[in-house]
Structure 1
Amino acid sequence: MAGARGNQRTYRSPLREEAARRTRETVVAAAAEVFCAEGYTGATIEQITARAGVSRPTVFGVGTKAQLFALARQRAATGGRLAANDEHFRQLMAIPDAHRLLTEFAAFTAGISQRLGPLQLALEQAAGTEPELAQLLESSQQELVECARGIVTAAAATGSLRSDITQETATDVLWLQIQPANYRRLVHERGWSHRAFEDWHAATMINALLGPRTTAGKPA
């Protein structure tokens, strides 16, 4: 009998799994709306429940308030994080021209900062009093450092990194440049367009990290 039980297959219902996935997406989307409107401190599970149109146990089945915030933030970044193991990120690092590499990286990170919007502000504001969010902020910053380091390594491999800057300093400069707060301050507070920010973002990266373009061994 024990052997028979061990050979039993776990029953899977595609319809049930699809319904669970949709419910999860509904809850996370509702949580994102509430966090954007109320901030982390002002948001409540009851507000998320009402916005999602589901029961309180259903919401908790997706996660706690802090977990819902982390999921909402991940969703805002198009279902994934800016991480060294991300397929898009690996494609960026394979670009052989450093100027194009930084231009496309600037567009990539500007888009993420745009989508994160008020969720990033809520994270920064709540991290001082909410240990789980403080941990999330710390891990997200470490991700940014590692991604900056990866881009700098790729740029250095092309021979285009400025000779008067170390890779570690270049990493710190790029880490500072890709902070989502830069987007919020220039676009939301100072009224820049997304395109204006993206152009500045790319130009600043290139000017800070790369030497002048060269043609046949001479500056272009």
Structure 2
Amino acid sequence: MCIVFIYNGVNETESDYSLILISNRDEHFERPAQCMAPWNEDSNVYGGKDLEPGCEGGTWMAVSPTRGKLGLLLNLPGVKKESAKSRGRIVSDYMKSTMPLSDTPTPKIKTYSNATDNIYQWPDTYLGFSNSLPDKPLKKVEAGKNYLTDICGRLNKIMDKSQLIDELTCLLKNKESHLPDDQLESRQPKLYKELSSIFVDIPQGKYGTRAHTIMLLSKSGHMDLIEISMQSPIDPEKPHWEKSAFQFDLIK
């Protein structure tokens, strides 16, 4: 399970931010991964990397400030295909592509699902996505959007950035259960309670939220990119969290 929340402040005249994105990566603790950093093969891309054999080079999320791109992948549980290629290559190939984007300077938020084979552009100010179809959100997604609405409604000025980051981090670490949720109960009858919170913690299964990402893009073109991740080897009972931060000024 993974989750992402987005604030599109382009049309919010009182806000200093054009885009805020926060996400949790939920994964098995033993799956090898590289924390967020500039990529050796393309220093214009910042992101984590999947180091699982057969999936090397793939990523769940990456940003290319110079190209004005951000890509993120969520898994839709379903039937596994034999000899299927790693999904993580979708994001990494997109980030490294030099194909030009549209000339529109404002953020565009689009989703694609291979379940529907549709690309949809979202005009909403507040968005949330997890491991379900976009039009069928999990209950914790709906709750998280409400939390984000409150936070960004109060802390949308650059002068409040420190408090904004603190409250966004608390949102990502929220362990409150959001039930009932028919989708989770039908898909995970034994673990739906543990998976019903924004922060997932299943130490007995060596699985849970192991990385938080926060991206702030101001209307002046300044980007803050922050990752707070568990350091390997991960001790489920006493995990050690480490913070990495990068800043960029986007060329308009």
Q: Which TM-score band applies after superposition, normalised by the shorter structure? A: under 0.3
Going by fraction, where is strand more abundant, 1 or 2? 2
Question: What TM-score, normalized to structure 2?
Answer: 0.24
Q: Larger relative contact order (C-alpha < 8 A, sep ≥ 6)?
A: 2
Greater C-alpha radius of gyration: 1
Between structures 1 and 2, the one with greater helix share: 1
